[in-house]
Amino acid sequence: MPIINFGGLLNFAEAMEKQDMEFYLSIASNPEMSDLSDLFQGFAKDGKKNIAHIQRTRRENITEMILEGITGFFRKPFVLEVKDDKEMGRAQILKYVDKMEARAIAYYTEGAKKIKALPEVSMALKVAGKKRMAHTQKLSGS
């Protein structure tokens, strides 16, 4: 399905952050990942902040003067199947985490380009994406 407008773009971002946050909360208490528990707790907290940031953007950065449609942007490449970490091994979990971060960064990068007509929204997406980039750096250092 295409993402055709401001609300659709931010709603997808919110859903993505929620899905990721829930996964991070789950793996933070997974005994298999106990050595990385604090890291994932932190990622979940970032997710919560990103959700608030996206909701605020959706409320505050909308104007009917520039409520133009978005073209050529599709959900499919950014959809990630919801996984149950209890049915996954450590390696699988880490691989999935990498996938989550990569898709979030890609989504925010592409989304920021697609909504350039609303520069504050574009900026907000870049800010959210930056947080996810920091995750990948932390993961590679862990």
Which distant-in-sequence residues (6+ apart) come within 8 Å of 64 by Cβ? none
Check residue 79 for interaction with another protein (CB under 8 A): no
Integer Cα distance of 12 and 18 in angstroms = 10
Query: Which of positions 85-124 make contact with another protein (CB under 8 A)?
Result: 117
| Least distance from another protein to the Cβ atom of residue 32, Å | 36
The residue from 63, 92, 137, 142 that contacts another protein (CB under 8 A) is: 63
User: Which residues face 74 on adjacent strands?
Assistant: 2
Local structure of residue 92 (DSSP, 8 states): H
> Which member of 60, 92, 113, 116 binds another protein (CB under 8 A)?
60
Residue number with CB closer to another protein (45 or 56): 56
- Residues 9, 73: contact at Cβ < 8 Å? yes
- Comparing CB distances to another protein, the nearer of 75 and 90 is 75
The residues, any chain, with a CB within 8 Å of residue 56's CB and separated by 6 or more, are: none
Let me know: does 7 contact 58? Beta carbons within 8 Å.
yes
Which C-beta is closer to another protein: that of 79 or that of 117? 117
CB of 26 to another protein, least distance (A): 26
User: Could you list the residues that contact another protein (CB under 8 A)?
Assistant: 1-8, 11-12, 55, 58-60, 62-69, 117
